[in-house]
Homo-oligomer: A and B are copies of this chain.
Amino acid sequence: MSTTMKTADGTTTIEAVEDMPAIRMSRDFRATPAQLVRAHTDKDLFVQWVGPNGSNMTIDHWDARTGGSWRHHGDLDGEEYAFRGCFHTVRDDRLVQTFTYEGFPDSVALETMWFEDLGEGRTRLHVHSLYDTYEGRDGMLSSGMEVGVNDGYAKLDDLLEAGAV
């Protein structure tokens, strides 16, 4: 299963990994690796772009360091949905964190992000999300996740364009 989607400012590739319950994503940004790390670890930046348009995100807890943890929730069309996890690794070149949608509290994903410097102020974000079951992975793929992903990354493009990161 592989899906490629155009967004206003870029293309996000979202694909299932064949031999493990994982999803692999990549997306190019007009940003340096340091800017993308900041966009993912600075709570005041992160809250401005994560999630689908209109999701009204709130960060409940945020301690973006190795061994820290996080929780945030959104409010979309009157429905609240919350996510939480811990930060396994926060480094200049790599982020590793756990991820649970609280609607399925016993499911968990392990998310690894790294930042490929393409030169000329462009960086390719790589995200590898490993689920503990194939059902969990396939449920995420069929949940409409690409809307949140693409809306979010487009908002991040706008923040970068505006010099806010």
Contact = CB atoms under 8 A, between A and B. Distances in A.
Nearest to A133: B20
Interface stretch (A28-36, A80-88, A139-147, A148-156): A80-88
A112 to B, nearest CB: 6
A119 interface: no
Interface string A5-46: 000000000000001110000000000000000000000000
What bracket does the count of chain A residues touching chain B fall in?
Answer: 20 to 34
A9 to B, nearest CB: 29
| A interface: dominant SS | strand
A69 interface: yes
Given A67-B61, A86-B67, A88-B86, A110 B112 contact: no
A106 interface: yes
A128 interface: yes
Nearest to A99: B88
Which 5 pairs from chain A and chain B are nearest by CB? Answer: A67-B69, A86-B86, A88-B98, A110-B110, A86-B88
A64 interface: no
Contacts of A57: none
A85 B88 CA distance: 6
A1 to B, nearest CB: 16
A100 B86 contact: no
A108 B86 contact: no
A94 B88 CA distance: 19
